[in-house]
């Protein structure tokens, strides 16, 4: 749409752990072309103490009620979106992976989600903001390891998943602004973008310490792809994507821990990060051998 701006935010959860999936999230907004972005337009509603808080997922999740806060906001946005899949549909995976969609909500109540959604719908209508999409892409350990082996880099696995989520929107008419939370030390994305979209010419806007940006000029409206360090604290679109990714990873880790607890009552759950993953792996050596679970479907290579 020529008189509007499409804003896409992308972030991940689970890039660093040894156990559990990598989840990438994307949010898509449409706002009036000449106006402010969704962060400013929805500020009172999405503030930390607002009815539908949106922030860095670590900030929202922190504390005993964090999972409920995370879920309420994510499901409220998912409920107001024109499309989207959070969590994304089950794929073939290890025995602890779901084979049917999760029954939601998990950490809060339907009534609380509905109250948050009502507040958000009112704010969106008043601000003339449309939520086009909120989606996640879950990459289990086997797929992650295969991707690392194929590309030689877990950063490339993350990049490819992010671009998969952007792909459905990149051909739309009108101005498009893509914010991607930048991870690791990579500053140069031009070659990767050219390989991904060889028919779309682009030039480098900047490649610096805090930001790498690339412009794709088009007659139907330019595309700006912006990789931003600590983007979840700067753009609501990235923050919401990070929350969706974190929420889906938490749901998956809940299923993971519940499955192993059924096989070994009393086994302490794990979030999958390095130190605790080492503890969990040590405690389950005999169990994993008895169940015939291979490291390739359980443990990240990187």
| Cα–Cα dist 87/194, whole Å | 30
Q: Report pLDDT for 229.
A: 94
CB-based contacts of 53, cutoff 8 Å, min separation 6: 46, 47, 60, 69, 73
Q: How much is the pLDDT for 301? A: 87
Q: What is the CATH number of the domain that holds 266?
A: 3.30.420.10
CA distance 96 to 106: 17
- Specify if 116 maps to a domain: yes
Residue 215 lies in a domain: yes
Contact status, residue 142 vs residue 296, Cβ threshold 8 Å? yes
What pLDDT is attached to residue 24?
97
**Residue 197, Cβ neighbours under 10 Å: how many?**
18
At 102-144, the pLDDT tens digits run 999 999 999 999 999 999 999 999 999 999 999 999 999 999 9
Q: Based on the structure, what is the number of domains in the chain?
A: 1
CB-count burial class (<10 Å; 0-12, 13-18, 19+) for 137: buried
Residue 159 lies in a domain: yes
Residue 198 has a pLDDT of 95
User: Does residue 302 belong to any structural domain of this protein?
Assistant: no
Q: For residues 128 and 182, what is the distance between their CA atoms, to the nearest angstrom?
A: 29
pTM assigned to the model: 0.96
**Rounded Cα–Cα distance for residues 9 and 5 (Å):** 13
Confidence at residue 63, expressed as pLDDT on a 0 to 100 scale: 61
- Residue 177: inside a domain, yes or no? yes
Q: For residue 252, give its domain range.
A: 4-297
pLDDT at 64: 62
pLDDT at 148: 95
pLDDT at residue 302 in the model: 84
Label residue 121 exposed, middle or buried (CB < 10 Å: 0-12, 13-18, 19+): middle
Render each residue's pLDDT in the chain as its tens digit; 302 residues: 567 899 999 999 999 999 999 999 999 999 988 778 899 999 999 998 899 999 999 888 876 678 999 999 999 999 999 998 999 988 878 889 888 889 999 999 999 999 999 999 999 999 999 999 999 999 999 999 999 999 999 999 999 999 999 999 998 989 999 999 987 778 999 999 999 999 999 999 999 999 999 999 999 999 999 999 998 889 999 999 999 999 999 999 999 999 999 999 999 999 999 999 999 999 999 999 999 999 999 999 88
Angle, helices 66-80 vs 236-263, to 10°: value is: 120
């Amino acid at each position: 749409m020529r008189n509007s701006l499409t804003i896409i935010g992308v972030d991940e959860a689970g890039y660093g752990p040894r156990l559990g999936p990598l989840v990438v999230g994307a949010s898509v907004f449409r706002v009036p072309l000449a106006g402010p972005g969704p962060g400013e337009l929805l500020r009172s509603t999405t503030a930390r103490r607002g009815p539908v808080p949106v922030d860095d997922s670590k900030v929202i999740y922190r504390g005993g009620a964090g999972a409920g806060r995370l879920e309420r906001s994510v499901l409220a946005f998912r409920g107001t979106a024109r499309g989207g899949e959070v969590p994304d549909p089950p794929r073939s995976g290890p025995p602890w992976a779901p084979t049917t969609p999760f029954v939601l909500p998990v950490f809060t109540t339907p009534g609380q989600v509905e109250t948050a959604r009502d507040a958000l719908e009112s704010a969106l209508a008043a601000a003339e903001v449309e939520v086009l999409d909120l989606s996640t892409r879950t990459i289990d350990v086997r797929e992650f390891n295969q991707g690392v082996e194929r590309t030689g880099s877990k950063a490339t696995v993350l990049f490819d998943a992010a671009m998969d989520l952007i792909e459905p929107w990149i051909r739309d008419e009108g101005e498009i602004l893509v914010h991607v939370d930048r991870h690791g030390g990579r500053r140069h994305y031009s070659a990767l973008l050219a390989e991904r979209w060889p028919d779309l010419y682009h030039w480098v806007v900047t490649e610096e310490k805090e930001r790498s940006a690339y412009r794709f000029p088009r007659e139907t409206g330019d595309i700006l792809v912006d990789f931003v360090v600590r983007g979840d604290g700067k753009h609501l679109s990235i923050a919401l994507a990070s929350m969706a990714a974190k929420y889906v990873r938490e749901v998956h880790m809940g299923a993971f821990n519940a499955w192993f607890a059924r096989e070994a009552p009393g086994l302490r759950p794990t979030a999958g990060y390095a130190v605790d993953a080492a503890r969990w792996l040590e405690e389950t050596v005999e169990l994993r051998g008895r169940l015939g679970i291979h490291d390739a479907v359980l443990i990240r290579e990187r």
